[in-house]
């Protein structure tokens, strides 16, 4: 516990501010983080069609979670991920739901080939 935390909580109670249970708040934040992770997984797998290893690598960088934990989450929450897949959201809907994430349109294979430039 942080030094002075109890004093802070008591002062808040004295002026009539209700203090929420920290464990409940942490659990809510973790669930929101997992939900965002699952939507990013949907985006990378269904819209960008990236290989699994690349998806896990990107999720690790975005959410600061290890690859083993990501694999466990994807397995344990398979039902939630299936619901997200059934929603069949496009980039517009993902942007509306999570505006702070970057949802660029996936590059198609033909466009990738056109953008290659050889310099001698």
- Tens digits of residue pLDDT in 48-70: 999 999 999 999 999 999 999 99
| Residue 22: predicted pLDDT | 67
Say how far apart CA 19 and CA 63 lie, in whole Å.
28
> DSSP alpha helices (H): ranges in the chain?
5-14, 22-42, 52-63, 67-76, 78-87, 91-97, 109-114
Q: Which residue's entry shows tokens 């069609």?
A: 49
- Tens digits of residue pLDDT in 66-97: 999 999 999 999 999 999 999 999 999 999 99
CA atoms within 13 A on the CB side of 53: 0
Other residues' Cβ atoms within 10 Å of the Cβ of residue 70: 18
pLDDT at 112 over 90: no
pLDDT at 106 over 90: no
Q: Which of 42, 55, 30 is nearest to 97 (CA)?
A: 42
The pTM for the full model equals 0.72
Mean of the per-residue pLDDT values for the chain?
84
């Amino acid at each position: 516990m942080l030094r002075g935390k109890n004093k802070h909580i008591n002062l808040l109670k004295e002026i009539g501010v209700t203090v929420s249970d920290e464990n409940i708040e942490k659990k809510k934040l973790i669930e929101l983080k997992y939900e965002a992770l699952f939507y990013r997984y949907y985006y990378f797998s269904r819209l960008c069609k990236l290989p699994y290893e690349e998806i896990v690598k990107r999720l690790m960088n975005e959410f600061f979670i290890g690859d083993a934990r990501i694999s466990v989450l994807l397995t344990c929450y398979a039902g939630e991920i299936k619901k997200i897949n059934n929603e069949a959201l496009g980039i517009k809907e993902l942007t509306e739901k999570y505006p702070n994430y970057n949802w660029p349109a996936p590059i198609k294979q033909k466009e990738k080939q056109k953008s290659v430039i050889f310099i001698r």
